[in-house]
């Protein structure tokens, strides 16, 4: 009985936590763009650069290495050359600019090859992927945090 009570209390906390979290996530269609930047965090939760690095490498998520050379990831054999090498990022881009670049690069350059990672309805996709963005809001924040570590 005691265990059950503890379980119920823990679940209550977990639910409260997830509700508070969900309330802060900005939906793709609600992202506010200002002068080619997205100043507001998509989640209000600080990005995790270690998680961001994994998303950058993951071929089913960021897959950034398909197009970008990233010196900081020497353990991965193949780095693409379609886009510029990603280094010295904080010297050239603010967090708000990076967020715009990831949410929807086409706002910066309509002809870009770079996918829009937090936008709905850009691809003709399989049923299971309809209504989903390539990256989640927190994925975007984590990738930004990682990009800002690239010296």
Site for ligand HEC in 4-63 (CB under 6 A): 56, 62-63
Site for ligand HEC in 69-88 (CB under 6 A): 82-84, 86
Under the criterion CB under 6 A, does residue 95 sit at the interface with ligand HEC?
Answer: no
Under the criterion CB under 6 A, does residue 101 sit at the interface with ligand HEC?
Answer: yes
Question: Which C-beta is closer to ligand HEC: that of 26 or that of 139?
Answer: 139
Between CA 113 and CA 111 the distance in angstroms is 7
Between CA 87 and CA 139 the distance in angstroms is 20
Question: Which C-beta is closer to ligand HEC: that of 67 or that of 73?
Answer: 67
- Tell the smallest beta-carbon distance from residue 134 to ligand HEC (Å): 8
Under the criterion CB under 6 A, does residue 148 sit at the interface with ligand HEC?
Answer: no
| Crossing angle for the helix pair 95-103 and 137-147, to the nearest 10 degrees | 130
Between CA 149 and CA 151 the distance in angstroms is 6
Report, in angstroms and rounded to the nearest whole number, the Rg of the chain calculated over CA atoms.
18
Site for ligand HEC in 112-141 (CB under 6 A): 112-115, 117
Collect all residues with Cβ–Cβ distance below 8 Å to 24 and sequence separation of at least 6: 43, 44, 45
For 108: left if phi > 0, alpha if psi spans -120 to 50, otherwise beta; the answer is alpha
Residues at the contact surface with ligand HEC, assessed by CB under 6 A: 56, 62-64, 66-68, 82-84, 86, 92, 101, 105, 108-109, 112-115, 117, 143, 147
């Amino acid at each position: 009985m005691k265990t059950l009570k503890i379980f119920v209390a823990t679940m209550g906390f977990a639910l409260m936590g997830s509700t508070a979290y969900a309330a802060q996530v900005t939906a793709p269609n609600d992202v506010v763009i200002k002068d080619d930047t997205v100043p507001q965090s998509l989640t209000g939760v600080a990005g995790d650069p270690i998680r961001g690095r994994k998303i950058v490498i993951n071929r089913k998520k960021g897959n950034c290495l398909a197009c970008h050379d990233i010196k900081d990831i020497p353990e991965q054999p193949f780095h693409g050359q379609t886009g510029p090498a990603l280094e010295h990022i904080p010297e050239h881009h603010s967090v708000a600019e990076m967020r715009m670049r990831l949410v929807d690069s086409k706002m910066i350059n309509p002809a870009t090859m770079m996918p829009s990672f937090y936008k709905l309805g850009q691809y003709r996709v399989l049923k299971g992927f309809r209504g989903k963005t390539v990256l989640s809001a927190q994925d975007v924040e984590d990738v930004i945090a990682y990009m800002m570590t690239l010296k």
